[in-house]
Amino acid sequence: MEHIVVIGAGQAGFSLVEHLRKGGHGGPITLIGNEPHPPYQRPPLSKAYLLGEMGVERLFFRPDGFYGEHDIALKTDVMAIEIDRAGQRVALSDGSQISYDRLALTTGARPRLLPEAIGGALAGVYAMRSLADADALAPEFKPGARVLIVGGGYIGLEAAAVAARRGLNVVLIEAAPRILQRVASAETSDYFRALHLAHGVDIRENCALSRLVGEDGRVCRAELADGSAMDVDFVIIGIGITPDTALAEAAGLEIDNGIACDVACRTSDPLIFAAGDCASFPQAAGRMRLESVGNAIDMGAAAASAMMGEDVTYTAAPWFWSDQYDCKLQIAGLSAGYEQIVTRQGEGDAVSFWYYAKGRLLAVDAMNDPRAYMVGKRLIEAGKSPDAALVADAGVNLKTLLAG
């Protein structure tokens, strides 16, 4: 039976090996991860885990015994350093080599960091991507501490929410004219700006960082592009992620906004597949790469099916979420190219924003409104676009839109 090796023990890698076994692959499976932990959830790291509301064991997808019970060889705390495509071998950082019949790359993404020249290497400057990052950051969350968060995307806003709830003094800066500008409408930006301001977060838009200044090797001050400066106790960098393609690139695989895959998650080498944040794939609107838990799960499962010889055409059904304070944001679809925003007021503090282009429903942002999210998601997946006036009318039962 074929030996399948999976490099990258995150959400996509775990989904892939789990579906290999569920799908009936009886040959050996090896899952390689460069962290010392078994595969775990990343979203709670910047939320419940940092707040101390979730223990580390609850982060793990499955107990340690799961891998042995399913005959999955889990290699942790070791890096894949080279792929020998001709010899079908992977060299590991511990000096060993492992042969494969088929290989999957689920290497994920790396956080964008500040250049060392502007203080990015100072102690007290943190990224927020891994369990190790969260563990290093947690002791800094002391009431009254001064934290600067660089970046007004979802990671930065989630970190700001945790810091504010823990009683820290929080300043968040965003170089763009508004927070969430790259991923959401002005209406969604306005909603979350107001939410954070109500919790005491100082949000500064159109505000870029010039440099961080250190004392005895640790950050102590931030200088901004407008000439102002502030004293800080620590800094969190949330300026996005980049696909981790170094291993694939060194192996000569095609790279196009990530590891380029076909509709069956197959790379330019027919024996090598890819899935998750590291991989781009063709869709009707062109090649895309999605940074989301949902895509990692679904693409990992699709890659598993393709590796077992099934006929696969991967079609993404994008969904995302973010938890900030008492607000749960749920997003269905992709809003790129929208021309119109329709606002629907739900019960209590629930509200949703519906994105349209030329009469076609593209996406829905639902705040504390799971019904709007579920209906919007089903409409988008079915290719249905209800009349905008009906969506905006709070007296119209959303479920009736599904029948249209």
In this structure, is residue 312 part of a structural domain? no
The domain boundary, picked from 239, 260, 287, lies at 239
| pLDDT over 90 percentage in the chain | 92
What pLDDT, on the 0 to 100 scale, is given for residue 185?
96
Sign of CA dihedral 230, 234, 238, 241: positive
| For range 163-191, the mean pLDDT | 96
Do 126 and 235 touch, CB atoms closer than 8 A? yes
Residue 7's alpha-carbon distances to 70, 80, 109, 395, in angstroms, are 18, 7, 13, 51
First-to-last C-alpha distance (Å) of the chain: 49
CA neighbor of 290 nearest in space, from 22, 11, 5: 11
Tell me, yes or no, whether 189 and 124 share the same domain.
yes
| For range 326-355, the mean pLDDT | 95
CATH number at residue 369: 3.30.390.30
In this structure, is residue 318 part of a structural domain? no
The C-alpha angle 213, 219, 225, rounded to 5 degrees, equals 40
The domain boundary, picked from 192, 213, 239, lies at 239
> Domain range spanning residue 151?
113-239
What pLDDT, on the 0 to 100 scale, is given for residue 50?
85
Tell me, yes or no, whether 71 and 178 share the same domain.
no
With bands split at pLDDT 50, 70 and 90, how would you rate the model's confidence at 404? low
Residues sharing a CB contact under 8 Å with residue 186, sequence separation 6 or more, in sequence order: 178, 341
Amino acid at position 207, single letter: C
| For range 270-286, the mean pLDDT | 94
| pLDDT over 70 percentage in the chain | 100
CATH number at residue 128: 3.50.50.60
Tell me, yes or no, whether 140 and 78 share the same domain.
no
Residues sharing a CB contact under 8 Å with residue 397, sequence separation 6 or more, in sequence order: none
Tell me, yes or no, whether 90 and 169 share the same domain.
no
Q: Is 187 exposed, middle or buried (0-12, 13-18, 19+ CB in 10 A)?
A: middle
Residue 284, pLDDT above cutoff 90? no
The domain boundary, picked from 224, 239, 254, lies at 239
DSSP, collapsed to helix, strand or coil, labels residue 219 as strand
The C-alpha atoms of residue 391 and residue 384 are separated, in whole angstroms, by 13
Amino acid at position 346, single letter: G
CA neighbor of 139 nearest in space, from 116, 119, 168: 168
Residue 108, pLDDT above cutoff 90? yes
| For range 297-325, the mean pLDDT | 95
- Among 283-297, 357-371, 377-391, name the one with the lowest average pLDDT: 283-297
What pLDDT, on the 0 to 100 scale, is given for residue 195?
98
Tell me, yes or no, whether 371 and 356 share the same domain.
yes
Tally of domains within the chain: 3
Tell me, yes or no, whether 268 and 296 share the same domain.
yes
Tell me, yes or no, whether 302 and 342 share the same domain.
no
| For range 319-340, the mean pLDDT | 94
Tell me, yes or no, whether 104 and 120 share the same domain.
no
What pLDDT, on the 0 to 100 scale, is given for residue 336?
87
Residue 285, pLDDT above cutoff 80? no
